[in-house]
Amino acid sequence: MQSMSSSMALRITDLPQEILINIFKRLDIDDVLALEQTCQVFHEAIQDSWAWHQIYHHRYGNSIQKADQYEREWTWRQKYEEKASLKLSVANDFEIAHLNGIHWRKCESSESEYGSIAMMQQVCWLDANSTIRSVSPGTYRVLWRIRVWDTVLRNQQVDFTAIPQVDDTGVIPRGSSIFTSPRGWFSETEVQGRGWAVMALPCKLVIDKEWGLTDVRVSVERKDDQWKGGMDFDWVQLQRIDNDLPVTSRLRTYKRVRELRNNSRFRNEFRVEDPGYPSFSRYIIISTVLTYFLFWLKQQIVH
């Protein structure tokens, strides 16, 4: 009787594909990608385009953003991975006040992976915002890819925010990331005129487990009577930092970045993009270290 019941036991891999997909769509992207590598049954089920259609709509519903018009030829998996990267184009995904060619201007650019950037020329009422949908609980670094021109106004201040949309009371919840640039910061030599750079906000974003999947409003804003300008914006991204293998590292390959020289107030928070190849001096240093190491190793063997 016992052998009969054990032989009739149902394994999870024996479940119909419809039930497996129903399980997959309730998992985070980390778990789905991990399951895909475990066995042939899960691999084939997750490779199915219908599975990603269900996973996408379960998490994001029918939410459509401006950039979706450029993704019509993408598969459902590509669309899901794009949204799971928690990254938005400022030019394509943001609502920008005074986008009229005078205060703000959107222009095509080969320097952006999205093909266009948003240029803040001169504006008082600064308000550019969007929403990153269905962010999983965890701790995140908020990254902005920006360029600061020599024409930037010396004492302008800008608020960078990433605020979880927990309720409709308007109260800013705990765990929000809000950074106001100090006066004169944009005109510092470490920031101004350095080309495109990735800025990590000093304050981390925290999504509480009690909230579950949470929408996060990201914005660059400052509503006052002071003029602001001389900045270009490419994208904003939430990068998870409480995970040994963050999703973003598996979904995209980014250019390497190197930290700028010591910034007295915001060290390690502003990094300029590396061209992608080591310098000649770095080769010299590495070869010298290896030479000394081999010499030391030879002496150890002799003795």
Note the pLDDT of residue 158.
92
Q: What is the domain-level CATH number for residue 144?
A: 2.60.120.260
CA angle 18, 19, 20 (to 5 degrees): 95
**Are residue 119 and residue 186 in the same domain, yes or no?**
yes
**Are residue 8 and residue 114 in the same domain, yes or no?**
no
**Contact of 201 with 150, CB cutoff 8 Å:** no
Is residue 303 scored above 80 in pLDDT? no
Alpha helix (H) ranges present in 121-252? Answer: 247-251
- 53-105 confidence digits (pLDDT tens): 888 888 777 655 444 444 456 788 888 877 788 899 999 999 999 998 899 99
Smallest Cα–Cα separation from 270: which of 190, 185, 150?
Answer: 190
| Residue 45 within a domain | yes
- 148-175 confidence digits (pLDDT tens): 888 777 778 899 999 999 887 878 999 9
**Are residue 49 and residue 129 in the same domain, yes or no?**
no
- 24-42 confidence digits (pLDDT tens): 888 877 788 888 888 888 8
Tell me the helices (H) and strands (E) count for the chain, helix number first.
9, 14
Beta strands in 165-263 (DSSP E): 177-180, 196-200, 205-207, 214-228, 231-240, 257-259
**Are residue 265 and residue 124 in the same domain, yes or no?**
yes
**Are residue 32 and residue 160 in the same domain, yes or no?**
no
pLDDT > 70 fraction of the chain, expressed in percent and rounded: 70
The neighbour count for residue 57, using CB atoms within 10 Å, is: 14
Range of the domain at 263: 87-273
Residue 159, H or E segment: strand 159-164
Smallest Cα–Cα separation from 129: which of 39, 217, 55?
Answer: 217
The β-bridge relationship of strands 116-120 and 205-207 is unpaired
